[in-house]
Amino acid sequence: MSVVDSPSFHLNLFPENVSDELSVLNSPAFNSWVVSPGTESTTDYTSPVPNLSFSPYDKTLKTERQQLHYLMEELVVSEENYVTNLKVLGNYYLDTFKIRQLCRPYPIVELQATVKSLIDSHSMLAKHLRNCFSSTSGNGEERLVKMSHMVCSYGIETAWYSKYIELFHYIRDLLEANPLWFRSWESYLRLIQHKRSDLSFMSVMQKPLARIARYKLYIEAFICNTTKKREDLKRAYERCLKLLQIVNEISISSEEYSKARMLNNICDFSSISRSIKVCSQFFGTCLFADSSQVIWKSQKKFINRVYGVFLYKHHLVLSEVGHMWSRKMKVRFVIPLKGSKFYPSPVDTSGGIFSKYEFSSKLDFTDKERRYEILFVAANCWEHATWCQHFTTQDHEDGSSSMFKVPPQITPVDVTTKSLAEEDRTNCYFNELIIVDNCKNRKNVETDVQYWFSLLPTKDVDYFIRKVEKSNSRTKNHQS
């Protein structure tokens, strides 16, 4: 038998010390005792779960602890979301682009490696932040200081972010020329998102640029919400400022980027037949700019022109030069260094074009079932050895992280082509722009540059083309 059905059960709704008048439900005493619906009671707002951080003696302690807890939680959650965005950029966009596009731009190849490094670094940071946030050892301020130093150690990798900022400018220009590259993935990600979050390629690309500045704001909030202005937290803030300053200086002084933009403004790549619209950003950072006499064969006739030579990491670009600034100069040849064969001393037995000049070299490549040969003539033994080492030891495969550094004596300063149009003149780019006019104009030249001119060849250089090329003629003499 249940308790309710027991005849001895009696439910007493009123305390024992209440008068008998309350037992009459319609009496005025009962109506005054019952709490009206409009009356508030403290039991309406009391949670069954006690607040462990509540202290009746210090009312501000509750607010400060909660504020620090919210700040640390926000840092952890935002770092985990940031890692997710980096994986969207790397896995959805860049990896898929690698599979779909047979011809990949060099900046996107470099970006793929950089994003992978950022994912590894920030995944480690998110794991450490989550473990520190969930740890019960130490008070809130000690964990907060520890998390701040984690951000400086793992979050702001200046080397990777500096590389990322440099690549961002190139890829932005590439997308302006080829807007349909990532359109399919953008539409797919927009459809599967239940939230209205922007996961377009450019939006995801910009998140690392915005993320690195948010760390500074987090540490500032930590300092403002601590009860004691801890010196170790201020040191973490100063360290964060120094790291941000390094990255900002690199993003502001983008000398190589502006140089590549200048080349893109004067060169017209439309004459190169490719499946995509090609610009100088497609090839990466320009390493060397010079001009040279180019000899090639067309309809059993040899043509000699002065072209601008732009050396990129994976390609050699030959473009027209001229005085006219109203039009772009057309790019005539784009030579892929990957797969090309290099001859450090093109002699008679090597086949094709050769030279008796001791400081000459040759690049042989095939494109669309056509064979091309380019003859390089260096000024001296040192320059010849420098470029031979570059073409023979440099890894031109996609994804190579090594970069060739041009010797300072021939580092380009001015990449304009205004002075390159004059006939019978070869222009070299030194630290100070010097025009080499058959070694005749040597006035007001410093001693080291005079020594450089003394090493230039003083005799005419003869180029020969074998009879198998259906010609027994000797090309025009070339002064290097």
**Does the structure show a pLDDT above 90 at 292?**
no
Q: Yes or no: say if 97 and 111 are a contact pair by the CB < 8 Å rule.
A: no
**Model confidence at 14, in pLDDT bands (50, 70, 90)?**
very low
Residues 32, 34, 38, 40: what is their CA dihedral angle, to the nearest 10 degrees?
110
Q: Tell me what the pLDDT averaged over the chain comes to.
A: 67
H-type alpha helices, 267-420 = 381-393
Please give the distance of CA 150 from its chain centroid, rounded to a whole number: 23
Q: Is the pLDDT of residue 427 over 90?
A: no
pLDDT band at 16 (very low <50, low <70, confident <90, very high): low
Contacts with 276 (C-beta within 8 Å, 6 or more apart), sequence order: 103, 177, 178, 282
**What is the reported pLDDT for 103?**
67
Query: What residue ranges in 167-273 does DSSP mark as E strands?
Result: 267-268
Highest-confidence segment of 130-144, 204-218, 280-294: 204-218
The region of weakest confidence among 54-58, 253-257, 425-429 is 425-429
pLDDT of residue 340: 81
Predicted confidence (pLDDT) at residue 207 exceeds the cutoff of 60 = yes
Burial (0-12, 13-18, 19+ Cβ within 10 Å), 313: buried
pLDDT band at residue 349 using 50, 70 and 90 as cut-offs: low
* Average pLDDT of span 30-44: 48
Three-state DSSP class for residue 374: strand
| Domain 58-253 = CATH 1.10.287.3510 | no
- Report the length, in residues, of the chain: 480
pLDDT at 129 over 80: yes
DSSP label at 195? S
Structure confidence at residue 456 (pLDDT): 38
What percent of the chain has a predicted confidence (pLDDT) above 70? 54
Whether pLDDT at 4 is above 70:
no
Domain ranges of the chain: 58-253, 285-477
Residue 96 CB neighbours (<10 A): 13
The predicted model gives 251-275 an average pLDDT of 69
State the pLDDT confidence band at 186, using cuts at 50, 70 and 90. Answer: confident
Distance CA 342, CA 269 (A): 25
> Which of 3.10.620.30, 3.40.50.300, 1.10.760.10, 2.30.29.30 would CATH assign to domain 285-477?
2.30.29.30
| Residue 153 DSSP symbol | I
How far, in Å, CA of 76 to CA of 130, rounded? 6
pLDDT score at 172: 84
**Predicted local confidence at residue 115, as pLDDT:** 92
pLDDT for residue 240: 84
In degrees and rounded to multiples of 5, residue 396 shows phi and psi of: -95, 10
| pLDDT score at 441 | 33
- What DSSP character marks residue 368? T
Residue 123's pLDDT is 93
Reported as a pLDDT band with limits 50, 70 and 90, residue 473 is very low
Confidence of residue 301 (pLDDT cuts 50, 70, 90): low
Q: Which helix (H) or strand (E) holds 354?
A: strand 353-355
The pLDDT score that the predictor gives to residue 448 is: 38
How confident is the model at residue 122, as a pLDDT?
92
> Pick the residue with more confidence: 410 or 384?
384
Query: Global pTM?
Result: 0.62
- CA dihedral of 211, 217, 219, 222, whole degrees rounded to 10: -130
Map residue 366 onto helix, strand or coil. strand
Cα–Cα nearest to 157, from 243, 241, 87? 243
Please tell me the distance from the alpha carbon of residue 22 to that of residue 304, in angstroms, as a whole number: 119
Q: Tell me: pLDDT of 396 over 50.
A: yes
What pLDDT shows up at residue 138?
66
In the predicted structure, residue 160 carries a pLDDT above the cut 80:
yes
Residue 427 structure tokens: 């222009």
